[in-house]
């Protein structure tokens, strides 16, 4: 079994990360009844004996003593991390996994990347090494951050660079929260585009997420819960609630519901690597199958079901509905419509009691309405994991490498250009050591190239019009 390390950077990154660890513990608690530290747990947690004071040694087998998350929490202001350390998850992290500062990055990518990057480089590398040493087979780093701010965006992408330098063999999956157009940070386009360049060059896979989509999904769920539709009751455990027995009596913060969705995304992504199933799908397989060209590694994700109806009438119709939903506009985690754009590749990760025939039936059903690139007409990667997520009997995560990310990027570019043409706010960046005008021009050209690649695919539908002629053999 392989291990993964989560690196959460910035306010958004840490808040999402916090939800992730909460859900991960809940999931493992539901599966692992005997309290034995097993392989599945070891992929995200260490088992530490804290009685001997200080940093106990790892216990690789036997009963669970104290679980420590394989995580690194980085934030340049203390508020969020402190809150985590005072909350119910405080024992899951130890002080050696934290890197904090006081003043924050002021929503400035340059401050995060250049200033704090330099300052904390040694510290970060050392802590990463330590975490990696605790793993006997480290496969993947998950970086969680936002693109619009300063720390998550700047320092987060700096860490990404570091990961590539120090651990070139380990996969880098980045979950990036993109700013919406009504974002209250004016210079978020600058931060995002500067960060995009880093993502283009140093990430293996990026899962872009937009707050707007999460917000819509959360609203939809609340509508369902509150509407009390005739004949259907929504079960307690939907994608956004923590669980029936939550210790928080207070109304959960508004972002918690949205962050839960991202946390579920990460859990489902790694489920096949942690639990058994009839068709395993490891993380390296995701990267292998979904990234046909090195730079086109942006995956649009969608999760279903969002909530479980207690109405158990027609199980197989519910299953089929789940597959249909995964491709609908409303369920995507960015503002995009993959069905009407070009698919380069698609992966379906199914959890729960679903058989290969159900999977195949649904693929056959949905295929005709989707446009695949000419050289990948049957570009489906599938995985079946037998363990369903908490509160559901089955679930589906769809990852699509699809040209529908283009509008998101184009909009980002437009917002950037509107500011850049006027040279608005540039001085905040340029007076940071190491930051020059060329950083901006390189970043925007990197983004433009990416958009161009997607354009080309759309225009040619990905291939020569006629089938390339086969090799001829002299008989």
Give contact residues for another protein (rule: CB under 8 A). Answer: 1-2, 39, 136-137, 139, 276, 278-280, 282, 284-285, 287-294, 345, 355-358, 360, 363-364, 367, 374-382, 462-464, 467-468, 470-473, 475
Least separation in angstroms between residue 464's CB and another protein is 7
Least separation in angstroms between residue 79's CB and another protein is 38
Helix (H) or strand (E) holding 67: strand 66-69
Least separation in angstroms between residue 342's CB and another protein is 13
By beta-carbon proximity to another protein, the closer residue of 76 and 373 is 373
By beta-carbon proximity to another protein, the closer residue of 149 and 383 is 383
Q: What string of DSSP letters covers 345-411?
A: EEEEEEEES--HHHHHHHHHHHGGGSEE-GGGTT-EEEEEESSPPTT-SEEEEEEEEETTHHHHHHH
- Cross-strand bridge partners of residue 372: 343
Least separation in angstroms between residue 460's CB and another protein is 10
Least separation in angstroms between residue 50's CB and another protein is 27
By beta-carbon proximity to another protein, the closer residue of 280 and 328 is 280
By beta-carbon proximity to another protein, the closer residue of 254 and 280 is 280
By beta-carbon proximity to another protein, the closer residue of 285 and 411 is 285
Least separation in angstroms between residue 300's CB and another protein is 16
Longest dimension (CA), the chain: 79
**C-alpha Rg value of the chain to the nearest Å:** 22
Least separation in angstroms between residue 273's CB and another protein is 9
Instruction: Determine the Cα–Cα distance for residues 176 and 147; give it in Å rounded to an integer.
Output: 6
By beta-carbon proximity to another protein, the closer residue of 51 and 465 is 465
Q: Phi and psi for 335 in degrees, rounded to 5? A: -75, 90
| Beta-strand runs (E) in 290-361 | 300-304, 342-352
β pairing state of 342-352 and 394-402 = antiparallel
Going 39 to 268 to 281 to 9, the CA torsion angle's sign is: negative
- Cross-strand bridge partners of residue 384: 279, 350
Instruction: Determine the Cα–Cα distance for residues 196 and 109; give it in Å rounded to an integer.
Output: 11
By beta-carbon proximity to another protein, the closer residue of 123 and 278 is 278
């Amino acid at each position: 079994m392989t291990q993964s390390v989560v690196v959460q950077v910035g306010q958004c990154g840490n808040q999402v990360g916090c939800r992730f660890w909460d859900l991960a513990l809940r999931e493992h608690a539901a599966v692992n009844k005997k309290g034995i530290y097993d392989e599945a747990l070891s992929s995200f947690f260490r088992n530490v004996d804290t009685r001997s004071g200080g940093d106990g040694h790892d216990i690789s087998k036997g009963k669970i003593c104290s679980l420590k998350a394989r995580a690194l929490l980085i934030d340049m202001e203390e508020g969020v991390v402190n809150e985590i350390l005072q909350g119910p998850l405080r024992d899951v992290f130890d002080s050696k996994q934290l890197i904090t500062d006081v003043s924050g990055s002021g929503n400035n990518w340059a401050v995060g990347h250049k200033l704090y990057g330099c300052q904390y480089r040694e510290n970060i590398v050392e802590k990463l090494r330590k975490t990696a040493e605790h793993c006997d087979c480290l496969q993947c780093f998950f970086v969680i951050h936002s693109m619009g701010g300063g720390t998550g965006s700047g320092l987060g992408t700096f860490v990404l660079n570091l990961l590539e330098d120090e651990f070139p063999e380990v996969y880098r999956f980045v979950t990036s929260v993109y700013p919406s157009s009504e974002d209250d940070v004016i210079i978020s386009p600058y931060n995002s585009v500067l960060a995009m360049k880093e993502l283009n060059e140093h990430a293996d896979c990026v899962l872009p997420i937009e707050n707007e989509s999460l917000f819509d999904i959360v609203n939809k769920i609340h509508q369902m819960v509150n509407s009390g539709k005739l004949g259907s009751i929504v079960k307690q455990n939907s994608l956004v609630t923590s669980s029936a027995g939550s210790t928080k009596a207070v109304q959960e913060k508004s972002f918690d519901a949205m962050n839960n969705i991202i946390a579920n995304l990460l859990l489902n992504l790694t489920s096949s690597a942690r639990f058994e199933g009839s068709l395993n799908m490891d993380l390296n397989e995701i990267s292998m199958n979904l990234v046909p060209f090195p730079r086109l590694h942006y995956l649009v994700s969608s999760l279903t079901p969002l909530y479980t109806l207690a109405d158990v009438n027609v199980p197989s119709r519910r299953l089929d509905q789940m597959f249909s939903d995964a491709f609908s506009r409303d369920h995507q985690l960015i503002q995009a419509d993959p069905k009407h754009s070009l698919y380069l590749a698609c992966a379906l990760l199914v959890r729960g009691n679903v058989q290969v025939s159900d999977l195949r039936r649904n693929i056959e059903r949905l295929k005709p309405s989707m446009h695949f690139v000419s050289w990948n007409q049957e570009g489906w990667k599938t995985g079946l994991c037998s363990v369903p997520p908490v509160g559901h009997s089955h679930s589906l995560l769809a990852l699509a490498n699809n040209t529908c990310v283009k509008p998101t990027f184009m909009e980002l570019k437009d917002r950037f250009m509107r500011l850049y043409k006027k040279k608005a706010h540039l001085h905040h960046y340029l007076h940071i050591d190491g930051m020059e005008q060329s950083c901006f021009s390189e970043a925007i050209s990197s983004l433009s190239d990416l958009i161009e690649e997607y354009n080309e695919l759309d225009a040619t539908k990905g291939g020569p019009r006629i089938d390339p002629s086969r090799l001829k053999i002299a008989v």
